[in-house]
Amino acid sequence: MAKRRRLIVANWKMHGRLTSGVTLARDIVEKAEANKPLEFDMVLCPPATLIWSIGEAIAGSPILLGAQDCHTATHGAYTGDLSAAMFTDLGCRYVIVGHSERRSQHGESSELVAKKVEAAQLAGLTPIVCVGETAEQLQSGSTGEIIRQQVIASLPENLKKGQLVIAYEPIWAIGTGQQPAPRDIAAVHKIIRGALGAAGEIVPVIYGGSVAPLNALALFQEHEIDGALVGSASLNSDGFWAIAEASR
């Protein structure tokens, strides 16, 4: 498969207060301005409380904005929830859905994730749909089948194929410093493309799980890996930028 422009996404999770978040975003913008035009796309997904301020900090720069989750409905009596359209209002272009932390800590099923994908696309956002196997599933040799099933079940029937990213995030690799070998990641990405059918040709498939400056170069040797979804290493501007540079 031909090498595409890569997508480097920061998932800040529940990190960042007003001052630290804006400082981090400004540091990243400074690097982006010094390296224009960028040879990759970069998205910051801060906590919802910071989206407005981060949006102001990155305004006019090539850095894009995303959210970490959204509700399935456009509006309504859903105390504490936020809709995809609300994120569009704030200038978001992307939204992460079906992260394993949402699936495990909030009981989100693939069927619910599919509804979120639909809601995100309707609001004009590109959903970044996360899939990944547990350590037990890896050990039992069922990774391929689990991932295939998750991809199919996490997408709605009326999917807009040109407005989608899949993130392969093995659950055992998140925040552990462990990772599959790059060639094993590439093999799973091929399975994901297979599950997507014709859309597999155009949908970016990115990898997440302990991506760090030290392992990024080896990851990006694999042309199947269209980018990275970065957790803890995205909280440091130098480290995050080094990962992005390794993707060129």
Whether 99 is catalytic = yes
Do residues 1 and 192 touch, judged by C-beta distance below 8 A?
A: no
> Could you tell me how many residues make up the chain?
248
Q: Which of residues 201-220 bind ligand 13P (CB under 6 A)?
A: 208-211
We find the least distance from the C-beta atom of residue 157 to ligand 13P, in angstroms, to be 26
Pick between residue 85 and residue 146 the one whose CB is nearest to ligand 13P: 146
Which of 53, 232 has the CB closer to ligand 13P? 232
**Contact (CB, 8 A) for 136 and 172:** no
Q: Least CB distance from residue 60 to ligand 13P, whole Å?
A: 27
Q: How far is the CB of 240 from ligand 13P (least distance, A)?
A: 10
Task: For the chain, give percent helix, strand, coil, nearest 5.
Answer: 45, 15, 40
Residue among 169, 216, 240, 247 that touches ligand 13P (CB under 6 A): 169
Taking the complex as a whole, how short is the minimal distance between the CB of residue 6 and ligand 13P, in angstroms?
16
Among the options 99, 108, 118, 189, which is catalytic? 99
Binder among 131, 191, 230, 243 for ligand 13P (CB under 6 A): 230
Neighbours of 186 (CB within 10 A): 20
- DSSP E strands in the chain: the ranges are 6-11, 40-45, 64-67, 94-97, 126-131, 165-168, 205-208, 227-230
- Per CB under 6 A, contacts with ligand 13P among 92-121 are 99
Determine, following the binding rule CB under 6 A, whether residue 11 of this chain makes contact with ligand 13P. Answer: yes
Question: In angstroms, what is the minimal distance from the CB of 235 to ligand 13P?
Answer: 9
Cβ–Cβ < 8 Å for 201, 162: no
The size of the interface with ligand 13P (CB under 6 A), counted in residues, is 14
Distance CA 240, CA 75 (A): 35
Query: Which residues in 63-89 are b (16+ Cβ under 10 Å) and which e?
Result: bbbbbbbbbbeeeeeeeeebbbbbbbe
Q: Which of 164, 206, 225, 229 binds ligand 13P (CB under 6 A)?
A: 229
User: Is 90 in a helix, a strand, or coil?
Assistant: coil
In this structure, the strands spanning 205-208 and 227-230 are parallel
According to CB under 6 A, which one of 199, 232, 236, 242 is a site residue for ligand 13P?
232
Residue numbers at the binding site for ligand 13P (CB under 6 A): 11, 99, 169, 174-175, 208-211, 229-233
- Which residues are known catalytic residues? 99, 169
